[in-house]
Amino acid sequence: MRVQVALKMPNNIIRYQIFDGVEASISTRNVLQIFTVYNKRLVGEFPPESFLAWRYVAPPPPATATSRAGQILKNHGV
């Protein structure tokens, strides 16, 4: 899974950070905790005053490799 966190930065700037291969949960102390999916290792903790929101997001689509010849054929309708 992939998690996006909106972090509060100085001067009212919002920075987005993405974690891949993780799960997220809010602890009883209202701390956002990020864990690896497979071995449940803690990889990040954000106290409530340091983040605005978090959500699961879809991974980007895989890049498709097309040869130069394939691109030319496609562009000429062949």
What digits encode the pLDDT tens for the residues 34-43?
A: 999 999 999 9
Q: What is the 8-class DSSP label of residue 39?
A: T
Q: What's CA 30's distance to the chain center, in Å? A: 21
Q: Kindly report, residue by residue over 26-68, the tens digit of the pLDDT.
A: 999 999 999 999 999 999 999 999 999 999 998 777 766 566 6
Is there a domain that residue 74 lies in?
no
% the chain with pLDDT above 90: 67
- Cα–Cα distances in Å, from 27 out to 47, 49, 60? 10, 14, 29
- Domain count of the chain? 1
Is there a domain that residue 15 lies in?
yes
| Residues facing residue 39 across a β-bridge | none
Is there a domain that residue 62 lies in?
no
Instruction: Please give the residue range of the domain that contains residue 53.
Output: 2-57
- Cα–Cα distances in Å, from 14 out to 2, 3, 18? 19, 16, 13
